[in-house]
Each structure stands twice: as structure tokens, then as C-alpha cells.
Amino acid sequence: MPIKYLIALTVLVLSGCTMVPQGGVGANYVSYNNLKIITEKEAEALTRDERSIRIEKDMKAVGFQTVKVSPLVDGFSDSVVSIYKNQYKLIQKYKVVVDNHKDVMSFIHANKGKSSKELKLEAERFDQLALNESEKIAPKLKQYKQANDDIQKENLKLAGELLLHSGKLALIFKDNAEQMLRAEAMLMLANLGKVQKAYKAAEVRIHLAKLANDFIDQEKAVLDITKQIQEILNEKL
């Protein structure tokens, strides 16, 4: 499906060029409409908590609405929004997973071989000994499972949506590509201002999606590293 590759390529090309800070000398934000969107450098300098919250906030501010222009441009915009939404939904989920990973894995590993009922009973017993809420394991188990389920769900959703978008585009070009392209050109000419807007929106969304994705990658790396450390402990220490 060449259209799918086209979208992927566009996203890649766009994400390749980091957005430069705008808004004058010394400004450390990317301006979009009246919003001051965080830059890549700024995001990296923040603490984990601050960073995830800020990215999420900026993503929400930019929003998920697309400008309708033409089938081709819309297809592209929709794909970008799908990816954008996916990253927006996942950013906190991954944080939850990383926050709880050690405790949940420790608990589950220590109770290896127990049925889910026995595990629940053990969690209750454990929580009875807890002095405060933060020492309890049951809420963490729930959050962890929820987050993992959500991640899976969101990823499936994204795959479905991308398939749909590319399917739409494929359909457009299926029979009368030349005719369609001409119509496209006409529409785009007529909506020149809108095209500009759609392009800018896509650009800032890709920027934020990339920031979110970097954060998620780093969270995933944390999980990988803890797994590697466990291997070292098991084998070498």
C-alpha cells in the first residue's frame, strides 16, 4: 500500500526537522497560534514528572480538530492526528507503567505460581500491613494492569485508524488517479489559506508527538535497563 508509506515518509521527513524556537531572540518556545509550545531542548531539561505533564498540557492546548481541505490533505492530516492522539493517550500510561514496574514485578515474581485469586488474597494481606496508602500494592497492581491494557488498546486503535486513512486514500486514487489529482489541485488552490493552516497544525502536532514519543522511548528504555540489571543480578553477581 504505497499511500501508507507516503504518510509514513511525510511524518518522517517532518519529524526530521526539529521546530526552531520562534517569537524573537532568546525565546524558548515554539509558537502556534497564540500558544507557546515547549521546544525539544526545553522538554529534555525538565524532570520526568514536569516533562510528561507539560507535553500533555501542550498537546491538549493544540487540540485534535482538523481543518478540512481536500481528500489528500485531509488524509494526511487525519493520519497525523491519529498518531498525535495515540501519543497523547500513551504518555501518562507509560509513566504509570514505569512508576509501578519494580513493585508490581517484585510482587508478582515473589508470588509466582499462585492463581489470580490467591494473588488477590495475598495483595489484601499485604495491604493490611501497610501504614499508609502509598505502601499498598493492590492500587498499583490495578493501575499497572489498566495502563498496560490501555497501551495495547490505543496501539491497536492507531493501527486500525492508519489502515483506514490509507484505505481511503487508496480508494480515491484507485480508478481515476489523474482526474482526482486535478480535482485535488483545484481544491487546494481554492483553499490556499486552509492548506497553510492544515500544514501548520500538522507540523506542530508532529513536533509534539515526537516529544511525547521521545519521552515514551526513554520510559521504555528504563524498563529495558531494569530488565538487563536483573539479568546481571541473576547471572553475574
Chain residues binding other proteins by CB under 8 A are 101-103, 105-110, 126, 130, 134-137, 140, 226-227, 229-230, 232-234, 237
Radius of gyration of the chain (CA): 23
Considering beta carbons, is residue 44 or 224 the nearer one to other proteins? 224
Considering beta carbons, is residue 20 or 131 the nearer one to other proteins? 131
DSSP for residue 21: P
State the cell numbers at 196.
497553510
| CA dihedral of residues 178, 181, 185, 190 (deg, nearest 10) | 110
**In the complex, what is the shortest distance from the CB of residue 47 to other proteins, in angstroms, rounded to a whole number?**
20
Cα distance between residue 191 and residue 77, in whole Å: 15
60 contact partners, CB below 8 Å, separation of at least 6: 88
**In the complex, what is the shortest distance from the CB of residue 143 to other proteins, in angstroms, rounded to a whole number?**
13
**In the complex, what is the shortest distance from the CB of residue 73 to other proteins, in angstroms, rounded to a whole number?**
46
Cα distance between residue 81 and residue 209, in whole Å: 9
**In the complex, what is the shortest distance from the CB of residue 148 to other proteins, in angstroms, rounded to a whole number?**
15
**In the complex, what is the shortest distance from the CB of residue 59 to other proteins, in angstroms, rounded to a whole number?**
30
Decide: 162 and 79 in contact? Cβ < 8 Å: yes
**In the complex, what is the shortest distance from the CB of residue 234 to other proteins, in angstroms, rounded to a whole number?**
8
- Report DSSP letters for 70-108, one per residue: -HHHHHHHHHHHHHHHHHHHHHHHHHHHHHHHHHHHHHH
**In the complex, what is the shortest distance from the CB of residue 222 to other proteins, in angstroms, rounded to a whole number?**
11
Considering beta carbons, is residue 69 or 137 the nearer one to other proteins? 137
State the cell numbers at 45.
531539561
Beta-strand relationship, 35-38 and 29-32: antiparallel
Tally of residues, the chain: 237
Considering beta carbons, is residue 99 or 154 the nearer one to other proteins? 99
Identify any residues that bridge with 37 across adjacent strands, giving them in sequence order.
Answer: 30
